[in-house]
Structure 1
Amino acid sequence: MRVGWGAALADLVIGADCPGCGRVTLGLCPSCRRLLRPQPAVVPLEPDTLTVVASAAYSGTAERVVRRWKDIGHTQTASWAAHALAASVAFHGSPEPLLVPVPATRRSRRRRGGWLVAELAAEATAVLAGAGVRAEVAPLARLVRQPADQRRLGVVERARNTRGAFAARPAPRGREVLVVDDVVTTGSTLRAVAAALERAGADVAGAAVVVATPPPHPHRVPLVDEPSGG
């Protein structure tokens, strides 16, 4: 994503510091850029009924960068998030995927000032086009029930909270569908959206996200093992 003078000035007003480490600079510093190079991999979720790919773990530097993007719309961090999502989409190997963003709740739209995941998906398609992948954003899913805030819910509670919360319109025939979101924790929301799409006849190939929250399980490790002090 090319950054114009207006966007750069806005970032400067927000704060001329690296969102990853706090160094004085505009956007991500070279060290954080190297550390945050997208490394797409399948997220180990249970149940594994949906193949979910993320490009980094939601911890350390990546968590700080994603929070900056979601909280204040920092242009340079939004650009990194779009490239990370594009890498996760490309990992699936579909040449012409339809990207279905997870619908935002009314609470999220008010807090974030819009539907950030849909905007992120649109930026990712531009990145993918440069790599020869003809992705399109298709807002086929919608909320039919406002789920509760999931931040303090466990695995079972999250699954119950999202079950039946989404409906979907049919996807074009012959197109593989990928559900996209910014962060995955247990995968309950992604699975609920995928189930709604499949009920509508879609060919859901999996899901792609920017980052994965390491599940609170003693036998699981973060998707990306970030060096200490990063």
Structure 2
Amino acid sequence: MWQVRLGIVLVVAAAAFAAPHRHRLHRQTSIVVHGMAEGPDGRLWLAARDGLYTFSGLHFQKEIDRPTDALRFVGFTSDGSLWLGGRDGLLRRRGNAWETLVSGDIAAMAVVGSRVLIKTETLLEVDESGGVRSFEDTPRGDLLPDAAGDVYFVGGDLRVHRYSRQLRRVEPLAALGGYLHVLPAPGGGYWAAYDRRADLVDGGTVLLRLSRGVAPGGLRTG
């Protein structure tokens, strides 16, 4: 779970008030954000500690039409539906109507195309029809999608697992284990970390290993 102060993160273009190619910092330090997503209308939607907000590029607006303030995650599926996750479950808004599709605490969430992956006591896949599918895998932390829409997470066995968007199944990526964190790499593969070590892995092979205090090639940084 990450939290940020909007005054640090939201640096946006204000063309009507600033010179070309200049940026203006819009401070709103009272909003503590847990998750954000861009909506179909181009606005930024923010799941905050005290509710749901939108940001137009110039102004913040707290959304009055919301079923709960206990929000951690926000996202949009390909049909334009708004999805919220938090202590009160997984909720979806279609048109002006809200519905709860999964009850209970949502500890992690990722939206990929027409499906939403969530972490409750196990890993669940929810599609646009409202159908819920359960997997045996139990993620330890965040659910992190890559550019292709596949979702990475560390399982209870401390191995990196990947949900394939195309195949709609979860599989461990390699016999390597002992990891606590994973992050998809922009060029393919993923970074996996544990304590003082971080590995860049692709195709089951460690391409690069970084250790705290040791530079690539084994030279100590001091």
Q: TM-score, normalised by structure 1?
A: 0.24
Larger Rg: 1 or 2? 2
Q: TM-score, normalised by structure 2?
A: 0.24
Q: Which has the higher contact order (CA 8 A, sep 6+)?
A: 1
Give 1 or 2: higher helix fraction.
1
Give 1 or 2: higher strand fraction.
2
